[in-house]
Amino acid sequence: MPSNDRRARLAAAAVLVPTVVALLAACSSAGAASSGGATAGSTAAPVSKGVAKVAIDLVSGTSGDECRVSHTTAAAGPVTFTVTNRSATGITEVELVQGQRIVGEKENLAPGLAAVSFTSTLTGGRYAVVCPGGTAESIPFTVTGEAAASSGSDAAVLLADGAKRYGVYAASTLADMVTAVQRLQAAVDGGDVAAAKRQYALARPFYEKVESDVAGFVLPGASATDNRGNLDYLVDMRASNLDPKVGWSGFHAIERDLWKGGRITATTKRYAADLTSNVRQLVTLAKGLDYRPEDLANGAAGLLEEVQTNKIKGEEERYSHLDLVDFAANIEGAEQAFANLEPGLRQIDPALTQQVADRFTAVQEALRAYQDPHQPGGYERYTVAVQAKDAATLSRLVQSLQDPLSKIAEKVATA
C-alpha cells in the first residue's frame, strides 16, 4: 500500500480531478444525515498498545448497503481499520482518503469472508472513509494532533532500512516488467501464437509481484473514478470486472485472444501496444516512490488476499489457466516484503516472525508440487479438475500464512 507521501506525488503526477473530493464530501454530508446512512461513533477510537482501533462493518440495511464506522475520530499515530463485510453485496471496497490521496484500502470484500485490516500512521487532519456503493459513500473521519517521529530504536532503524531495500526490489521488478511486455508485444506483432503464449506467461509474474504497490495510479488528466484512466484496471482487468464503457484491455484481453480465440488479430496487436504504453506510464509514475514499513506489511497482506479472492477460484486466468503462475508471483512478492522487514521484526516479536517465515516455507513447498517446466510459466495449468481437487487445501494453507502476517502492520508501525 503506498504511503501518504507517495499518494501525494501520485495525485500531482496524475492530475486527479479535484471535483472527486468535493463529490465525496457532498455524498458524506448527505449520507451521514440520513437514517439509512453510516452508523458512526462520536468518541475517539480506543487505543491499544499504541494503535487506535476502528471497525468498519459493511451490512445490508433497509435502505441499501451501509458502511458502518465504529469511530469517526482518532488521535494521530498508527490507526488500524478492520473491515468486515457481513452482508453488503453492493460494497466491494473501502478506502481511507485524505484530499486526493488514498491512504489505505481494502478490495474484494465479499460478504462472509474473514475480516481484513490495514494500518496507517496518520497525522492530524480531515480524512474520509469511502465505501463506493453504500448509501453513504463517504463518511468524514478526523485525526487530531500530530504523529510522533520515529522512535529511533534499533528495530525502527532496521525496518526503515528494509523498506528502502524493498523499494529497490520494486523498482527493479517494474523495470523488468517493461522489458517483458515489450517482448510480448513483439511476439504478438510477429503473429506467432505459441511464442506470444510463452511471452505472456513470462510477463505476468512481474505485475503480480508488485500489484499492491502500483494500484491506484491513473493516466495524466484522467479522473480517479473513471476506469478509462485507471492504470491498474487497464493493465489487469478481467472478465469478472469488465466495465462495458471501457471494453477489453490489457493482459487478459491478449490472454483471451491467444487461448480462447487461438489467433492473433489486428485487435490483439492493438491490445499489446496499449499494454506496453500503459505499463510504461505506470512505471514512470511509480519512479522514486518511497515506502514505510507498514506499507510493506499492508502490501504483503493485500497480495495474499488477491490469492484468496481471485487465484484460488481460477478467476484470474480463465482462458489460459495460468493461475498458479500468478499465485506463485503473489506469494513471492509478499515474501520479499516480509523478508525486508524480518530483521526488524525479529527484534519486536521473534515468535510471530518465525511463525510467518515457517508459513511462507510451507506455501512455497506446496507450490513446488505444481511446477512443470514444460508449461508456459513453469507451473501446471490450473484446470477445473485441479481446482476441484486442490483449491480448498491451497486456500487453507494460504490462510494459515495470512492470519499471522496480518498482525505485522501494527507491530512495525509502532516500533
pLDDT tens-digit map of 61-84 = 888 999 999 999 999 999 999 999
Predicted pLDDT at 151: 73
Give the cell for residue 235. 493493465
With a CB cutoff of 8 Å and minimum separation 6, the contacts of 314 are: 321, 323, 382, 384, 387, 391
- The answer to whether 13 and 224 have CB atoms below 8 angstroms apart is no
Positive or negative torsion for Cα 284, 299, 11, 237: positive
Rounded average pLDDT over 344-357: 97
d(CA 178, CA 169): 15
- What's the pLDDT at 224? 66
**Rounded Cα–Cα distance for residues 344 and 288 (Å):** 23
Mean local confidence (pLDDT), 395-411: 95
Query: Are 249 and 389 in the same domain?
Result: yes
Per the domain annotation, does 149 fall within a domain? Answer: no
CB atoms within 10 A of CB 150: 14
CATH at 18: 2.60.40.420
* AA letter at 31: G
Task: Name the residue range of residue 185's domain.
Answer: 154-413
* Per-position DSSP letters for 263-280, written without gaps between them: S--HHHHHHHHHHHHHHH
What's the CA gap between 163 and 255, in Å, rounded?
A: 34
Number of H helices, E strands in the chain: 12, 10
Cell numbers found for residue 333? 512478492
Provide the number of structural domains found in the chain: 2
Average pLDDT over residues 186-193: 98
**Gyration radius (Cα) of the chain, Å:** 21
Taking 60 as the threshold, does the pLDDT of residue 172 lie above it? Answer: yes
Chain mean pLDDT for the chain: 88
Let me know the angle formed at the C-alpha of 24 by 83 and 107, rounded to the nearest 5 degrees: 30
**132 belongs to a structural domain:** yes
Q: For residue 151, which phi and psi values (nearest 5 degrees)?
A: -65, -20
Residue 91 has pLDDT above 60, yes or no: yes
Determine which helix (DSSP H) or strand (DSSP E) holds 183, and give its type and residue range: helix 154-189
* 357, part of any domain: yes
User: Is the four-CA dihedral 149, 152, 156, 158 of positive or negative sign?
Assistant: positive
Question: Which residue has better confidence, 226 or 41?
Answer: 226
Provide the CB-side half-sphere exposure for 52 (13 A, CA): 22
137 and 172, same domain (yes or no): no
What's the rounded Cα separation, in Å, for the pair 166 and 347?
A: 19
Distances (CA, A) of 207 to 125, 284, 406, 410: 34, 15, 22, 26
If pLDDT is split at 50, 70 and 90, which confidence band does 17 have? Answer: very low
**Mean pLDDT confidence for 313-339:** 96
Q: Check pLDDT > 80 for residue 171.
A: yes
Residue ending a domain, choose from 116, 144, 172: 144
Distance CA 224, CA 227 (A): 8
Contacts of 37 (CB under 8 A, 6+ apart): 31, 66, 135, 136, 139
What is the average per-residue pLDDT within 321-349?
97
Does 285 fall in a domain? yes
Percentage of the chain exceeding pLDDT 90? 73
Q: Which of the listed residues 122, 144, 166 is the one where a domain comes to its end?
A: 144
pLDDT of 293 above 90 = yes
C-alpha cell belonging to residue 402: 495470512
Residue 360 and residue 237 share a domain: yes
* pLDDT in the model for residue 8: 37
Range 274-288 average pLDDT: 92
DSSP 3-state assignment of 415? coil
The verdict on 97 and 166 lying in the same domain is no
Residue 38 has pLDDT above 60, yes or no: no
Please, which pLDDT band fits residue 1 given cuts at 50, 70 and 90? very low
Rounded Cα distance between 27 and 194, Å, is 50
Which of the residue ranges 79-83, 214-218, 377-381 would you say has the lowest mean pLDDT? 214-218
Residues 90 and 192 in one domain: no
Same domain, 326 and 360: yes
Cα–Cα dist 286/174, whole Å: 9
**Residue 185 counted as domain residue:** yes
Give the pLDDT band of residue 41 (cuts 50, 70, 90): low
Domain annotation covers residue 256: yes
**Whether residue 274 is found in the same domain as residue 365:** yes
Alpha carbon distance 35, 185 (integer Å): 53
- For 57, residues 6+ apart whose C-beta sits below 8 A from its C-beta are 67, 68, 70, 84, 86
The percent helix, strand, coil of the chain (3-state, each to 5) is 55, 15, 30
Residue type, 398: V
Look up residue 166 and give its three cell numbers: 524493498
Work out the average pLDDT over 20-41.
41
Q: At 200, which amino acid appears?
A: Y
Q: Are residues 315 and 400 in the same domain?
A: yes
Contact 67, 94 (CB under 8 A): yes
State in Å, rounded, how far the first CA of the chain is from the last one.
19
Q: How many CB atoms lie within 10 A of CB 271?
A: 24
pLDDT-derived band of residue 113, with 50, 70 and 90 as boundaries? confident
Q: Which three cell numbers stand for residue 296?
A: 510493506
pLDDT in tens, 114-156: 899 999 999 999 999 999 999 999 999 999 999 887 778 899 9
Give the range among 215-224, 259-268, 300-309, 351-360 with minimum mean pLDDT: 215-224
Q: Please give the helix or strand (H or E) that residue 55 lies within, else none.
A: strand 51-61
pLDDT-based confidence at residue 3 (cuts at 50, 70, 90): very low
